[in-house]
Structure 1
Amino acid sequence: MTTSSLDPRLTPARADLAAAFLKGRVTAKRFCEGTRYQLIDGLTNLYGAPDANTPLQTQLLYGEYFTVYDIKDGWAWGQAEKDSYVGYCRADALSPDLHPGTHYVTNLSSHIYSEPNPKSPAVGQVYMMSNVAVINEIPQRGFVQLADGNWIFAPHISKDYGVDPLSEALKFLYAPYLWGGKSSIGIDCSGLIQLAFAATGVFLPRDSDLQAEMIGTTLDDDAVPQRGDIAFFPGHVGFMLDDMHLLHANAHHMRVSIDPLRDVIDIVSFQTDEPPLRFIKRPAED
């Protein structure tokens, strides 16, 4: 098997270096075991090249694990553990000190404080579905202490997942659009789907084409869409709010919006020669 037959988005392989588990499957000058790091910045950009002026591929959230295969000139090249995405991020956003997550952030965002006091200095900001490591679940002034000695407001985190991806996605209504974004300060269409399902304990791939392979069953052409179905377009995806309206992060309005499905189909039809609506899928029920 050659590198070209593997998805480069999910394959930690370059001409000069590849992950050891790919030995015999790809061609590279050298293979190595990766080193596991953890994200310590609230939001970290992942690029396809070690250059912040190149297009954003995706973003990594606080507490995520990232396997690093190479560090050079301040850039770390590796693979995200959650969705297997490969790319380059700033090395100073990573720490070799690992604190296994105990809770995840349920608020769109939350601040981390140096003391259990909202008037104390905020030392960072974390975003929905970030993992945090709580060492004492007994609140002090409403805050719980984290493994690094800082504090977070207890009602903003949880051990328990939600039950409805669409309800989780609606939290992002009117959030600005950002290609590759995965937070309330900027999100794209597949990022919205990925985060909404993650909030219910279902972990999907990052991009819409990969999500289409995993999500549920395809509706017949004459079937009536229902709340929570997922509509797939060429290079785009969104939640059906009901049988006629779509919730989606989009570049047309540059935000997360609710639009008539018919309007979205018309807009997409001007952007592609493919059928503007590929299919609608119904997620599997537990």
Structure 2
Amino acid sequence: MTARDARLHAFRSDLADARLKGEVAADRFVAGRPARISASVADVRKAPRTDAGVNTQLLFGDDILVFEHTEGWAWIQAERDGYVGYVADTVLGARDHAPTHMVTAPRTFLYPGPDLRFPVSGQLSMGSAVTVTGSAETRGTHYALLPSGQAIIAGHLRPVGEVAADYVSVAESFLGTPYLWGGASGFGIDCSGLVQLAMRMAGKNVLRDSDMQAATIGEPLDPGPDFAGLGRSDLVFWKGHVAIMIDAETMIHANGHTMLVSREGFKDAVARIDYLYGGPTGFRRP
């Protein structure tokens, strides 16, 4: 049997994805059932328990495959990045409408109708996929209407397929967002989640965890002995951490030092991190 990363392939000793038959050992193989995330943000946990750690998060409109559904939990795989884990079954919805737009603001509100004075009925993160069925204007503000009857600010959306020109600028729009281990949304995000979401908005789907990103994004880069070769958009990796270069001297990252997405001088960060985790382990140019 071929070794597989359990974060990216759905297999356990008792159950596995039917596509892995002949590659992994399991008592039973099943085909994944298509579903879609219907909650604003869905925690993907290591085990089907509320006290299990959160590995990542999925966003409203993300398509998934469900391999098992039992006792309030679903064992799933995200179709966008292949991540496997457990979500509460309350976040599962049907793929009953084809998404037409994506949220581009870091965070936005849902209203029960097209009026910003109405009490908020929900909130969505950048990267959420929605289906727009109509439009309305109230006191000069334009709204997109959703199948649920809710409304969202039209200027916070763009059509599916339109992408940002610069993923670093997308990352900079998250400045001040709280750091959250396993976070992957505008409400809380971690270092590799910031890289993944910013790149996704620029039309490039990448893997979720920093070790995966260090092995797969772009090409390896040798910045030279004084890091003089670094430039905007380059990625810097430490053990368990990643940052995005804004320019040759400054980086942006979601970090546990400030507990925010923040800018930091690159050489200052190298010195600060060194005594805890050592120096950078690699560099990539997307």
**TM bucket by the smaller chain?**
over 0.9
Q: 2:205 matched to which residue of 1?
A: 203
TM-score, normalisation: structure 1: 0.93
Supply the distance in 1 between the matched residues of 2:173 and 2:270 (Cα, whole angstroms): 24
Q: 1:14 matched to which residue of 2?
A: 12
Contact 1:19–1:31 (CA under 8 A) maintained in structure 2: yes
Q: 2:118 matched to which residue of 1?
A: 120
Q: Which runs of structure 2 are paired with 1:201-280 in the superposition (5 Å)?
A: 201-222=203-224, 223-272=228-277, 276-280=279-283
Q: Compared with structure 1, are the counterparts of its residues 97 and 279 closer, same or farther at alpha carbon in structure 2 (3 Å cutoff)?
A: closer
| Unpaired runs of at least 5, structure 1 | none
Q: 1:69 matched to which residue of 2?
A: 67
Supply the distance in 1 between the matched residues of 2:62 and 2:119 (Cα, whole angstroms): 24
Contact 1:127–1:183 (CA under 8 A) maintained in structure 2: yes
Q: Which runs of structure 2 are paired with 1:143-222 in the superposition (5 Å)?
A: 143-159=143-159, 160-222=162-224
1:218 is displaced (CA, Å) by: 2.3
Residue 282 (structure 1) aligned with residue 255 (structure 2):
no
Deviation per CA, 1:96-123, whole angstroms, max 9, x where unpaired?
A: 2432211100111111222112233432
RMSD over aligned Cα atoms: 1.5
Deviation per CA, 1:199-257, whole angstroms, max 9, x where unpaired?
A: 11111110111112222222224252111211111111011121122111111111111
Contact 2:13–2:27 (CA under 8 A) maintained in structure 1: yes
| Unpaired runs of at least 5, structure 2 | none
Percentage identity across aligned positions? 40
1:51 alignment partner AA:
R
Instruction: Tell me the SS of whatever aligns to 2:170.
Output: helix
Contact 2:168–2:233 (CA under 8 A) maintained in structure 1: yes
Contact 1:139–1:154 (CA under 8 A) maintained in structure 2: no
Contact 1:37–1:98 (CA under 8 A) maintained in structure 2: no
Instruction: Tell me the SS of whatever aligns to 2:121.
Output: strand
Contact 2:125–2:187 (CA under 8 A) maintained in structure 1: no
Supply the distance in 1 between the matched residues of 2:223 and 2:60 (Cα, whole angstroms): 41
TM-score, normalisation: structure 2: 0.93
Supply the distance in 1 between the matched residues of 2:112 and 2:223 (Cα, whole angstroms): 55
Contact 1:165–1:199 (CA under 8 A) maintained in structure 2: yes
Supply the distance in 1 between the matched residues of 2:176 and 2:283 (Cα, whole angstroms): 23
Q: Compared with structure 1, are the counterparts of its residues 227 and 17 closer, same or farther at alpha carbon in structure 2 (3 Å cutoff)?
A: same
